[in-house]
Structure 1
């Protein structure tokens, strides 16, 4: 009897040990497959140099290349010969950051096994507001003040090298994902292979969004990137903007757009949305198009909307600059340039935005509301609109300049699991370098009012914009 019990115990223990050993071997194998050889990191660096030198649409691109080369740290100085994707990101992204263009950067890699903070944030003028949470002790809308005795300003300073942009306010928009990856980007000292996920504790000082806005210190534990969506879905989040929606304020129709692209089934949904909105509201006298925060890169989104308000063919001339190189053959042909040979000249090319009447045509006065975060194709559309109509835009100056880079391409490195976006062209209007888009009617807005808007508590800018439209309506 004792012998049989002993055999059973040995069998059970052996099974457990074998299972754990096999699990560890599998995890070790996965870990080894995630590692990026130093040669691949070197190739990424060379890609950055090649794109900057041959594709990036700037007269100063060779100077930028020199700056990148001087900042590059020889990989032979590293003790390791293989790196995890997040480590590769920490090597190459600061180099791209030298370019100072929000449209030229690496996206931070996010693998399922990464440790992340149990909340996401948005950053507004240096203040960090929680947008979603996966723990009871921190609510959406709370303000983060400290994480493990490091103030928010210190954390921002540490994370800024991993962002890209012409100024701080542009760069702080890219801190959203980086903040949640603090355990990997800033705090991971060494990587190890394990069967079970080990949570790490963080002391977080927050200012509650409820009651008296009191400060409190809470202890939270990290989650894996894979588990965070499931865990956070159990708790309330701050409101998010829909891709497109319509409301009516008397004889003023308000179209609110978010950031989206006309891919897949979205195009049909968008066309149906526009048709239904216009068919059932033909009597609109005024239309307010709200493009705050819109960063869409597809000009057709706005073209298809605006064509419902033109009663004849309308043509607006624009200018764009592209380097005359074999790397840009497709982009050059798109803008009517017959490529013959590489000259490396930055060509200034005239092109046209053509608007054809689209049924149903609505005879309404169109106004546009935008804010400092409006960029890319949305900014291009507003600039084009301002060429046609005077005194019809409301909001605040954009952070992105009128002559901004465009025609973005992406390149994914399968070994490093990194995606790089880069521009092949730059808008080239006759405006001074660094000129931003200015509204006809400017609305001053405070940081606190921006935060209240993000939380869905109030919308100061929208209220003021309606007042402008209605006051002009009365005068007419």
Structure 2
């Protein structure tokens, strides 16, 4: 199925709307929109929009702007389609190398290290796909974003098949791999393994392990999650310790964060923070309304600073044992806030890699529709401030994670990092 092409004039109108939003609505915490480099990137993108494009081509053209802004809450929606071509495997970037962490290709086993695709070295591929991410830091968040894109190489490169050169068990091999559609891939995956919920629980003796891979779910799934938590704490009152594993959790809804934290407080907890909001007509129904401020056209562009509090309400059953939160370096957004509250208010101890991101973060993006390319951009209009700008979360027990350990975990072979965390718990 060939995607419809959009006329250059319409592409340019949507693009100029994006630039208007970034100048008038974006909170721009590092004042990057005002820099000459931003202007240079914008001009470079404008020149590309002189020919018809589909929405996917438009995404590729404008992505460098969001990559430069380096804000994972400020982005353009990826125009995914079930007819997009994808590898029949899952590639993942770990420490500047590409590995196979799941495979439907018998001749390319899990844990293979990809050296080149169609003769292009992996390092060059990673560099190419960085422009399609919203993050410039060398973190697992960027690795995840790149990984999601490189699995779509057949679509990005418009190729039905490629030759993959890989290393496994000391030998270097080459295999031709034919692409499948996302629809076909998901159908095959469902046949090969059970689909997982974004949370699960298990016991290891007196230690409970609660895994939460995302705080981003709602509706019936949120209601099911609440019942799941109630059941966990009701049936496991003899637990002495609870590990909350939020590795690879890149955030979601604060309401879910507060739902979890409610099981660890016996009275209402007020979490105070400052909020900076940009006074803009584009933020009227979202960022401004959220902090009880009205748009004032006479103060267009002004940054308003206010103080606010979130309230965490106790939820029965309340867990009285020790709480440990297992993290990696790329957790972000609501996951970072979760960790900050746990540490700052003495709810538990933090174990794992030092997170790159500060608890000071832009709010989740306000959606703005681009009518011609029929997709959305997300433009944060506010900034939450919990601590001095230079502050970062320092784990109580910091762990250095090797590539081998991360691969063991990503492929589901074993979890050496969790095992190290349990040793810490048992020795304390």
Q: 1:463 aligns with which of 416, 419, 424?
A: 419
Q: 1:444 aligns with which of 400, 408, 411?
A: 400
Give SS of 1:293's match. Answer: coil
On the 8 A contact 1:64/1:98 being kept in 2, the answer is no
Give 1:367 shift: 2.0
Q: 1:179 aligns with which of 150, 153, 156?
A: 150
On the 8 A contact 2:215/2:335 being kept in 1, the answer is no
On the 8 A contact 2:160/2:178 being kept in 1, the answer is yes
Give SS of 2:237's match. Answer: coil
Q: Corresponding residue for 1:120?
A: 90
Give SS of 1:282's match. Answer: coil
Listed as ranges, the matches of 1:221-240 within 5 Å are 221-233=178-190
Listed as ranges, the matches of 1:92-131 within 5 Å are 92-131=62-101
Deviations 1:227-282 (A, max 9, x none): 3323455557xx98642222223322221111143412112211111111111122
2:39 matched to 1:69? yes
2:10 matched to 1:40? yes
Q: 2:388 aligns with which of 408, 431, 434?
A: 431
Q: Corresponding residue for 1:369?
A: 326
On the 8 A contact 2:209/2:245 being kept in 1, the answer is yes
2:222 matched to 1:267? yes
5+ residue gaps in structure 1? Answer: 1-26, 189-198
Q: Corresponding residue for 1:18?
A: none
In structure 2, C-alpha distance between the alignment counterparts of 1:380 and 1:416, rounded to whole Å: 34
265-274 or 39-48, larger mean C-alpha shift: 39-48
5+ residue gaps in structure 2? Answer: none
Q: Corresponding residue for 1:136?
A: 106
Give 1:382 shift: 1.2
Deviations 1:423-461 (A, max 9, x none): 22222233134x332211111111221111111222222
In structure 2, C-alpha distance between the alignment counterparts of 1:344 and 1:240, rounded to whole Å: 46
2:174 matched to 1:217? yes
On the 8 A contact 2:8/2:49 being kept in 1, the answer is no
Give SS of 2:381's match. Answer: strand
- Bigger relative CO (Cα 8 Å, ≥ 6 apart): 2
Q: 1:217 to 1:234 in 2, by over 3 A?
A: farther
Give SS of 1:121's match. Answer: strand
Q: Corresponding residue for 1:196?
A: none
2:108 matched to 1:153? no
In structure 2, C-alpha distance between the alignment counterparts of 1:58 and 1:74, rounded to whole Å: 21
In structure 2, C-alpha distance between the alignment counterparts of 1:121 and 1:348, rounded to whole Å: 43
Give 1:376 shift: 0.8
In structure 2, C-alpha distance between the alignment counterparts of 1:305 and 1:60, rounded to whole Å: 32
Give SS of 1:465's match. Answer: helix
Q: Corresponding residue for 1:334?
A: 290
Give 1:63 shift: 4.0
109-118 or 123-132, larger mean C-alpha shift: 109-118
Deviations 1:362-391 (A, max 9, x none): 322222221112211111021122221187
In structure 2, C-alpha distance between the alignment counterparts of 1:144 and 1:202, rounded to whole Å: 13
Give SS of 2:377's match. Answer: strand
Q: 1:93 to 1:78 in 2, by over 3 A?
A: closer
In structure 1, C-alpha distance between the alignment counterparts of 2:35 and 2:334, rounded to whole Å: 28
Q: 1:71 to 1:305 in 2, by over 3 A?
A: closer
On the 8 A contact 2:366/2:381 being kept in 1, the answer is yes
TM-score by length of 2: 0.90
On the 8 A contact 1:120/1:179 being kept in 2, the answer is no
Q: Corresponding residue for 1:280?
A: 235
On the 8 A contact 1:40/1:415 being kept in 2, the answer is yes
Give SS of 2:107's match. Answer: coil
2:261 matched to 1:306? yes
Give SS of 2:368's match. Answer: strand
In structure 1, C-alpha distance between the alignment counterparts of 2:355 and 2:221, rounded to whole Å: 27
Which protein is bigger by CA-based radius of gyration? Answer: 1
Q: 1:234 to 1:130 in 2, by over 3 A?
A: farther
